[in-house]
Amino acid sequence: MWRLWAKALGEKAGGDNQEADKIALIRSTIVMVYVLTNILIMASIIHHW
């Protein structure tokens, strides 16, 4: 599952698999922050509707 998620994030970056996993983890963190931000924005809109 991790391999598929890492591929979905974009092309493999880094010289070896360990470095590529660290980069994928950073990209995953960024995606999760975007998702959380969007959920909070939508909750705020619904709350004030």
Please report, in tens digits, the pLDDT of each residue of the chain (49 residues total): 988 888 888 888 888 889 989 999 999 999 999 999 999 999 999 998 8
Cα distances (angstroms) measured from residue 7 to each of 11, 39, 42, 49? 6, 24, 28, 38
- Rounded to two decimals, what is the model's pTM? 0.79
Question: pLDDT value at position 45?
Answer: 96
